[in-house]
A and B are shown apart, each in its own frame.
Chain A
């Protein structure tokens, strides 16, 4: 199955600033996904990213707040813009499905906004 490298693993940011999270996959994947996970909670899908097209956002998430790039089949970024303490969470990316091994996830970015 694919391996996804996600960085940074954690960051502490000032409110009002932006943070860009990167995910690099070791093989080409058709689609990538971005999730948010509050501590002790389950995962919530933010958006789906295809190469060459605009990301598709889930209800409650907007492009201005969470712009996503997908320049090629092995890379994607998620930016958390104009951060507030409410954005403190774990952000995870996920890659395309291998029919035998399910979806692959990055290890997550733990974001704290102060």
Chain B
């Protein structure tokens, strides 16, 4: 499994865009990049997954450059309820063994 590196924490204010970059220099050819969100006292929740370029859903966007050695999760116009830990994972789509790194604690302030 490719090792990932992401910032430990980030602070933001309501209405701002939050961008979290994850480094995965050893990503394999068939690996996908997946992001999970975890609120206190809850299990992680899938946010978005991508292989290359850009993926967007109703929650976030995921930007992956051509070399795929990093990726950026973009949360548009965050609110207080977006305060959570965000995990970047890299692996095969059918690799059931998720390897969670330290994650990024995002704190949104009013």
Contacts and interface: CB of A to CB of B under 8 A. Distances in A.
Interface size for chain A: under 10, 10 to 19, 20 to 34, or 35 or more residues? 20 to 34
**Dominant secondary structure at the B interface:** loop
**Dominant secondary structure at the A interface:** strand
Given A33-B98, A42-B87, A92 B46 contact: no
Nearest to B85: A42
A45 B43 contact: no
Interface stretch (A68-76, A79-87, A97-105): A97-105
Interface residues of B, number: 20
Nearest to B87: A42
Interface of A: 1, 4, 6, 31, 33, 42-45, 48, 92, 94, 96-97, 99, 101-108, 110
Interface in B42-71: 42-46, 49
